[in-house]
Amino acid sequence: MSYENNEPNKVNDMEKTADMADPNAIVTFLKKQLNKLFKGDREPGEPKISFVVFYAPHNTAKDFEKLGDLLPEADVYIPESPGAVKSNLFLYEKVSNGKLTPKEAIKMMQDVYGQQDGPLYVIIEEEFKQLHNKNKHIFIADDPNFDLPSGKIDLLLDNFEKELAQVKKSMKKFAEVQKIREDFMLNQLNEPLKKFITSRTDLKNKKEVKVLLQLGSFHTRVFLKLREKNSARREFSTYPYVYSFYSETRRAHVFGKEVDDDLAAKAYFDLVVTKFFKFESISDDTAKIGLLKRNIIEQFNYDEIKQLHDLLKEHELSENRD
């Protein structure tokens, strides 16, 4: 399901033409607005900036394989890199210019951040492999102070209705925090990026600078906003791209859509299925796993998911009694 189609058009300033009696003034105004819409706001002599946003999940190394197909045409690469921006920038630059191997960079990253749960380092090492020795300019647009709340959800609360309320609250909080982060990135992709480009001799004299931005597939709002005033296209790690019910619930909040109990129940069930069934042992293909999980979850309605919750809770209680 897409939550993007009904996004309001922010590039609409036509009320300003109401007081324009001269038709030529209206034409001039319209041309100016169209130029902003399709070419972006830029000064004469500045290179045009065009964007490709590469969306991929962050589950396995395979998710980043397509990055290698997109990098050759890019002048600037912007990795998704929240947190310690300066240290991350150093590592990405050294990998890009061949001064560090991917394994050396990962070792340095582990020394800074320590061991992490999940596949984080496996994914970044694949990203480094694709970037290695490509000599791309690196720009970091992410928030250096970003700290994502844990969003931990207890899967077996006593009451299923409380469970759903917890899921909704957690998803909404996640979406609110991510929107703030996305707004920060969008601001960085405006004047700070222009300043970065014009400060590089080999970039500022180009007619067009091509920017490749990598983001998790949750962040399609960034592309929609970029497209309002820039030349931009997006690519996904796989087609068709299937969102989990868990992600769908979060994205609904981002786009101001209501999350009803049925969707919240499926998001909860998504968490349960992910926890108790080790899909990664079946395949390293995130798209195949995502489609399989979604096909399973779609077979269950609200009442059946509630019954499953109650059975799991009863099983947990009986084990504790034993």
Least confident piece of the model among 66-80, 192-206, 255-269: 255-269
Q: DSSP of 90-126, one letter per residue?
A: HHHHHHHTTSS-HHHHHHHHHHHH---SSSHHHHHHH
Q: How many CB atoms lie within 10 A of CB 284?
A: 15
On the question of pLDDT at 248 being above 50, the answer is: yes
* pLDDT digits 0-9 by tens, 255-303: 888 889 999 999 988 888 887 777 766 777 788 888 888 888 999 999 9
Annotate 59-73 with b (16+ C-beta within 10 A) or e (fewer).
Answer: bbebbbebbeebbee
Per the confidence metrics, is the pTM higher than 0.85? Answer: no
On the question of pLDDT at 164 being above 60, the answer is: yes
Dihedral pair phi/psi, residue 64, rounded to 5°: -105, 5
- The pLDDT of residue 87 is 79
Q: Which two tokens stand for residue 208?
A: 């067009």
What average pLDDT does the segment 218-231 reach?
A: 93
Alpha-carbon gap, residue 35 to 25, rounded angstroms? 15
**H or E element, residue 89:** helix 85-96
Dihedral pair phi/psi, residue 157, rounded to 5°: -70, 160
- The pLDDT of residue 36 is 52
Q: How many CB atoms lie within 10 A of CB 12?
A: 9
Task: Count Cα atoms within 13 angstroms, Cβ side, for 191.
Answer: 0
Of the pLDDT bands very low, low, confident and very high (cuts 50, 70, 90), residue 21 is: very low
For CATH 3.40.50, the residue range(s) in the chain are 40-141+189-241
Q: Name the average pLDDT for the chain.
A: 82
Q: C-alpha angle with apex 237: 40 to 212, nearest 5 degrees? A: 30
CATH of domain 40-141+189-241: 3.40.50
Q: How many CB atoms lie within 10 A of CB 86?
A: 8
* pLDDT digits 0-9 by tens, 90-117: 999 999 999 999 999 999 988 877 766 5
